């Protein structure tokens, strides 16, 4: 269990609002007015360290070493989280997230372009080949008109 979070209940206290006495409202018992309050301690979630995403980018998409840098910051964020430094962990996790986003976008763009550009070239080459064959047939027909047998 995380040492930063305690499951022990907090003591309930009665704190008087003011020193002077108020007259009792109808239906309310007389005497000093006190308010019972409950303090709810909402622990903040520990920051995400993005270690799995960083490992993925390091192994499969280490473009410009962004995956390596993201992995280093993810490990630092995990170390800070284990020590209990939540602000340091958030700072390192934020940097790891930025490098992971950059690596993912660049790799996605690279994969997209490596698929689309060859397909466009193949498609364009096919059009060029057919236009070349059609032009050659036309030229051949023209040459037979001018230089054909009579």
pLDDT digits (tens, 9 = 90+) for 7-63: 556 556 665 556 555 555 555 555 555 677 788 777 778 889 999 999 999 999 898
* Count of beta carbons in the 10 Å neighbourhood of residue 95: 18
What is the 3-state composition of the chain as percent helix, strand, coil, each rounded to the nearest 5? Answer: 60, 5, 35
Reported as a single tens digit per residue, the pLDDT across 77-133 is 999 999 999 999 999 999 999 999 999 999 999 999 999 999 988 888 877 766 666
- Are 66 and 53 within 8 A, CB to CB? no
Quick one: tokens of 69? 């840098």
Task: Look at residue 34 in the predicted model and tell me its pLDDT.
Answer: 64
Is 0.85 topped by the overall pTM?
no
Nearest to 4 by CA among 87, 95, 92: 87
- Are 47 and 84 within 8 A, CB to CB? no
Quick one: tokens of 93? 């996790």
Quick one: tokens of 56? 């993925």
* DSSP H helices in 20-148: 51-60, 66-83, 86-147
pLDDT (average), residues 136-146: 55
**Residue showing tokens 């390091």:** 58
């Amino acid at each position: 269990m995380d040492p930063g979070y305690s499951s022990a209940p907090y003591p309930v206290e009665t704190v008087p609002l003011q020193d002077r006495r108020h007259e009792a409202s109808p239906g309310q018992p007389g005497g000093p007015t006190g308010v019972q309050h409950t303090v709810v301690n909402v622990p903040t979630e520990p920051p995400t360290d993005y270690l799995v995403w960083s490992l993925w980018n390091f192994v499969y998409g280490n473009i410009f070493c962004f995956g390596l840098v993201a992995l280093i910051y993810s490990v630092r964020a995990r170390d800070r989280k284990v020590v209990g430094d939540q602000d340091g962990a958030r700072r390192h996790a934020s940097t790891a997230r930025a490098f992971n986003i950059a690596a993912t976008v660049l790799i996605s763009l690279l994969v997209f372009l490596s698929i689309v550009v060859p397909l466009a070239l193949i498609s364009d080459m096919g059009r060029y080949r057919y236009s070349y064959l059609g032009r050659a047939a036309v030229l051949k027909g023209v040459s037979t008109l001018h230089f054909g047998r009579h």
